[in-house]
Chains A and B, each alone.
Chain A
Amino acid sequence: MTTWTQVRKRNIALIDKLSVRAIGHIMAEITQEEATTYRDSGDGWTVMEVVGHLLDADRVFLSRAKMILAQDHPDLPVFDHEQDVIDGQYNAQDKDAVFAQLAAHRAQFAAWFRELTDEQWERSGTHPERDYPFTLTDALMQVALHDNIHLEQITRILAEKRPSP
């Protein structure tokens, strides 16, 4: 009874428009210094590093999704998200430039999802951290969940560090 087309369509809109736009509004509001110095729990990621991680993850998630589409139940690669953030040196980059890359990549990812047929949505691979066949629908839902986790992290970093209004 659940209309999967609608569920997918709504989740594509969520990852394409809502979560990334919310992060974009926040990035536009904060200063470069706030973005690169306020840390999660004292020594965790900065807001810039969280946004950089979202960009890294988006690239990995799309590459995995493309593997699922092109290959017969592929083994999906692991990625070291902590090392990628270190390698990305995001705190040395311009906040608006990094966010622009995320927004552009996410638009590309959402457009890719929109082109899938019902049959393709069912294709799967072996995810390194999940014990069930990981479908392209799973991949979409994972992006929405991942955005939500890091939106909470970003707002927490800012709420804890910014002076109360």
Chain B
Amino acid sequence: MTDNMPTYRKWAMQQLQRNITIYSQVVLMTPPDVATTARDGDDGWTITEVMGHLRDFEDIFIERAQATATKDMPPLRFPDPDALTQEQNYNAQPLTDLYSQWMEKRHTLLDYFETLTDEQWSRAGAHPNRGPFTINDQLMLAVWHDSLHLEQIVKILTEKHV
């Protein structure tokens, strides 16, 4: 089963890379006034807040991978996303700036992933909710996380709850 893991990693990293383009195209299609006013449902995040969340969690993903690759079962940080959104006041920042910052961090994450050995990919950290969590798991989670928030952004764009 795990024989195909290198292929899955390659495919997952292709998706993380391609999501840079998908998000850029979605940002391009977002009217500026909608970016900070339309929400996910009545009181969910705006598109700008989603992008801010992605930017800040990309740092978490990098930090987790680096800690897992170099330490023995390190605790993996999981800050409260809603608290972070309040604290960082994403809506005061241009969507395009948040996107550009996320994109730079995404390249950093992908570059770091490229350096890992098979042994490092199988190392685990301690995720507060998920228990032992390998770098393979972290990669797959990052793909799922991108997809989750992409669906959220296009939903906000379509429904435009203001």
Residues of A bordering B, CB below 8 Å: 1-4, 6-7, 10-11, 13-14, 17-19, 21-22, 25-26, 28-29, 121-122, 132, 135, 137-138, 141-142, 144-145, 148-149, 151-152, 155-156, 158-159, 162, 164-165
**Chain A residues in 8 Å Cβ range of B5:** 2
Contact of B157 among A18, A29, A121 (CB under 8 A): A29
In Å, the complex CA distance between A3 and B19 comes to 25
Q: Are B140 and A7 in contact (CB under 8 A)?
A: yes
Q: Are A165 and B21 in contact (CB under 8 A)?
A: no
Q: Are B21 and A22 in contact (CB under 8 A)?
A: no
In Å, the complex CA distance between A145 and B22 comes to 14
**Chain A residues in 8 Å Cβ range of B141:** 10
Question: Other than the known A2-B136, A145-B15, what 17 A-B pairs have Cβ atoms closer than 8 Å?
Answer: A1-B132, A2-B5, A7-B136, A19-B147, A25-B158, A29-B158, A135-B4, A141-B11, A144-B11, A145-B14, A148-B14, A149-B18, A151-B22, A156-B25, A158-B29, A159-B24, A159-B29
**Chain B residues in 8 Å Cβ range of A14:** 143-144, 147
Binds A, one of B49-57, B82-90, B148-156: B148-156
Please give me the residue from chain B that is nearest to A142 by CB atom: B11
Residues of B bordering A, CB below 8 Å: 1-5, 7-8, 11, 14-15, 18-19, 21-22, 24-26, 28-32, 34, 122, 124, 130, 132, 134, 136-137, 140-141, 143-144, 147-148, 150-151, 154-155, 157-159
Determine chain A's interface SS by DSSP, over half rule: helix
Q: List 16 A-B contacts (CB under 8 A).
A: A1-B124, A2-B5, A2-B122, A2-B136, A11-B140, A19-B151, A21-B151, A21-B155, A22-B147, A135-B1, A141-B11, A142-B11, A144-B11, A155-B29, A165-B29, A165-B31
Q: Are B4 and A1 in contact (CB under 8 A)?
A: no
Q: What is the distance, in angstroms, from A61's C-beta to the closest C-beta of chain B?
A: 15
